[in-house]
Amino acid sequence: MAVRRALDAGERVTRSPARLDQPQAVDAGPAELFVIATDPVVQGVIRLAADTAAGVGRVTSISADRLPASVMTEPRPIVVLDLDGAVPSIAPVAAVLDLAPDVRVVVLSERDDGAFVLEAMRLGAFAVLRKPDGLHTLSDVLAQVAGGERVLPTDLEQSAVSELRRFARQVHAASTVATPVTDREREILELAAEGFTTHQIGRRLGISPRTVEAHVAKLYRKLGVKTRIQAITRAAALGLIDMSE
């Protein structure tokens, strides 16, 4: 029930104040801060920033694999989530917010492309900062997040906004496809995009090559194309399959 989940997420974020509104008064005491970071240097930087941030209270280091119950029960918990590596996945952000939807997540990452920033904010993150230069502002950002504001540095905000148009256009183009593509058809598209032949796809999915052909023919009709390459590029343009990896 992906839609239900998205719906809940929508209701959750609707309550957050818009930028033009006054930030919430910090009268419920300092916000508890949880740190998910494996790098001891980054951990130290976060603790240092938290010490000087207004409205931020106790700091606890936790593991992403096992969120302590207090993360879910604290009234306004902040989780600073450090994503490792040059091309980190967004998955940990989704995982934390799935378990604890009221948590205010601050994402630290070396990735700063629009798709990454926008997806983090869409999932409900309160802030995204680029490492290492964004760490200088962490103390201020934590104070703002403790006050209920969502924060993005100007350049990250602009790349997220640019991505928003690309995303909107892609979804709009996909909505013009006459019939939705089924999960099975998408599966076949993805395998075809990886270069598998009809026979190989059939073997992988445990169906006959003829069935694969039937699916492919239906896909051509739905996508309005005549060749396999056209089908793959069209599906990628519509965002039906991800060819970025």
> Using the 8-state DSSP alphabet, how is residue 151 labeled?
B
Q: Which is nearer to other proteins, 36 or 93 (CB)?
A: 93
In the structure encoding, which two tokens stand for residue 226, read together? 């005549």
Among 29, 44, 68, 180, binds other proteins (CB under 8 A): 180
Name residue, tokens 């209270």.
57
Binding mask 23-52 for other proteins (x = CB under 8 A): ------------------------------
Q: Give residue 198's identity as a one-letter amino acid code.
A: T
Per-residue mark of binding to other proteins, 148-177 (x: CB under 8 A): -xxxx----x--xxx-xx-xxx-xx-xx--
Distance CA 1, CA 7 (A): 10
State the number of CA atoms in the 13 A half-sphere of 144 facing the CB: 16
146 forms part of the interface with other proteins (CB under 8 A) = no
Contact assessment for residue 137 and residue 153, using Cβ atoms and an 8 Å cutoff: yes
Q: Does 225 bind other proteins (CB under 8 A)?
A: no
Q: How many residues bind to other proteins according to rule CB under 8 A?
A: 45
Nearest to other proteins of 175, 244 (CB atom): 175
Smaller CB separation from other proteins, 8 or 194: 8
Chain residues 104-143 in contact with other proteins, contact rule CB under 8 A: 118-125
Residue 9 binds other proteins (CB under 8 A): yes
Number of H helices, E strands in the chain: 11, 5
User: Are 59 and 35 a contacting pair, CB within 8 Å?
Assistant: yes
Q: Least distance in Å: CB of 38 to other proteins?
A: 26
Locate 48 and state its tokens. 């240092």
State in Å, rounded, how far the first CA of the chain is from the last one.
Answer: 27
- Least Cβ distance, residue 135 to other proteins (angstroms): 18
**Residue 121 contacts residue 150 (beta carbons within 8 Å):** yes
Residue 222 contacts residue 178 (beta carbons within 8 Å): yes
Q: How far is the CB of 188 from other proteins (least distance, A)?
A: 16
Beta bridge partners of 193: none
Shortest Å, Cβ 231 to other proteins: 17
The residue among 161 and 214 lying less far from other proteins, judged by its C-beta, is 161
Residues at the site binding other proteins, with contacts judged by CB under 8 A: 1-4, 6-7, 9-10, 13-14, 16-20, 118-125, 149-152, 157, 160-162, 164-165, 167-169, 171-172, 174-175, 178-181, 239
